[in-house]
Amino acid sequence: MVDRLKSLLELYQKDPKDSFVAYGIALEYISLEKHKKAEKYLTSILQSNPDYVPAYMQLAQIKEKLNNFDEAADLYRKGIKAAKEQGDTHTANEMEGFLNELE
């Protein structure tokens, strides 16, 4: 896992705008329970690529773990909107379920 993270970080240094690589780094940090580091990459993705739907869900789940429920709900809402705009009803429904559990 550390080798994979190291490889992803090297790729990221070459192209920090690559949302796919940044997302992979965030997932690696999540699996290592380094939520603040994962949060940094997910936030960066959404700033440069607001249509990257999976980042909304992962970041919202981190916010939940950190007891930032209002931020999590806001992220789920934005993610649901982005998913619906892309025709991704499965992910939109999944996030709606998570949002309903928060409210």
* pLDDT tens per residue across span 24-51: 999 999 999 999 999 999 999 999 999 9
pLDDT by 10-residue block (mean), the chain, 103 residues: 89 95 97 96 96 97 95 98 97 96 88
Provide the CATH number for the domain formed by 2-102 in this structure.
1.25.40.10
Number of Cβ atoms within 10 Å of the Cβ of 63: 22
Quote the pLDDT of residue 2. 74
Strand, helix or coil at 63?
A: helix
Structure tokens at 28: 């690696």
Query: For the chain, which residues make up each domain, given as ranges?
Result: 2-102
